[in-house]
Amino acid sequence: MVNLLKKFRIDYESVVPVEGLNKRPSEESIEAFKKLPIQEDLEEGSITDKKVLRNIRIGELVRENSKDAKLIVMSLPVPVEGVTSSKMYMSWLEFLSLNLPPVLLVRGNQQSVLTFYS
């Protein structure tokens, strides 16, 4: 990442790898997510879907590590067509950017299109 930032002459202060993505999010974060308007999409009020838990955890990690950033650039999560409802997807986006500085959400097409010449 550092080499790529230098190659494109992007100023940065630090690149810090974040660990703990596969840990379960805190109960506090899960409860905060449940307060968003997605109750009808949750089975019996519990959250067991791995993709939902992962997005909650990502939001938690971003808040822990980037709350003082001037801009956060993040990949949009990919919804599962026919499975992820519109309300659930918008709730993911809300939770990923909740109480953060400006967040730029970027979406690709699952193909590597970045080209540069050395």
pLDDT, tens digit (0-9, with 9 covering 90-100), for 21-51: 899 999 999 989 988 887 666 665 567 788 8
> What number of CA atoms fall less than 13 Å from residue 80's CA on the CB side?
6
Give which of 103, 102, 36 is closest to 76, Cα–Cα: 103
Q: Tens digit of pLDDT for each residue in 2-25?
A: 777 788 787 877 777 888 989 999
Helix (H, G, I), strand (E, B) or coil at 3: helix
- The answer to whether residues 30 and 47 touch, using CB atoms and an 8 Å cutoff, is yes
**pLDDT grade for 117, boundaries at 50, 70 and 90:** low
- In percent, the amount of the chain with pLDDT more than 90 equals 30
Give which of 19, 2, 18 is closest to 10, Cα–Cα: 2
pTM assigned to the model: 0.77
Give which of 8, 6, 56, 68 is closest to 30, Cα–Cα: 56
Domain regions of the chain by residue span: 25-106
Cβ density class 15-31: b for 16+ within 10 Å, e for less: eeeeeeeeeebeeebbe
Looking at per-residue confidence, does 40 or 95 come out higher? 95
